[in-house]
Amino acid sequence: MTTENTYKLSDSVIAHVAKALQVAIITGTDIVDNLRLMDLAVADGELVLTPDCEENFEANLTAMLQDAPSSDSLFSS
């Protein structure tokens, strides 16, 4: 396999993958589905998240946290 260009993942992409994995574990969803939603671009020789991808992920995460049961829920300890 010959490749002309190689790229490393930026720290922000690595952090995003970690968050996506955490979300998948908490929600019981498949990590593959979360990773497929990532949109990457090349910047300064690294793969970075597109601004739209970051905004959408954060908006979804915020919405999920708002829908989470409150501390006085039957499911809290």
Give me the pLDDT at residue 62, please: 87
Helix (H) or strand (E) holding 47: strand 46-49
CB count in 10 Å sphere of residue 66: 7
Are 26 and 13 in contact, with CB atoms under 8 Å apart?
Answer: no
Per residue in 1-44, pLDDT (tens digit) is 667 889 999 999 999 999 999 988 988 889 998 899 899 999 99
Q: Tell me: pLDDT of 66 over 60.
A: yes
Q: How far apart are CA 34 and CA 63, in angstroms?
A: 16
Q: Is the pLDDT of residue 77 over 70?
A: no
d(CA 6, CA 27): 33
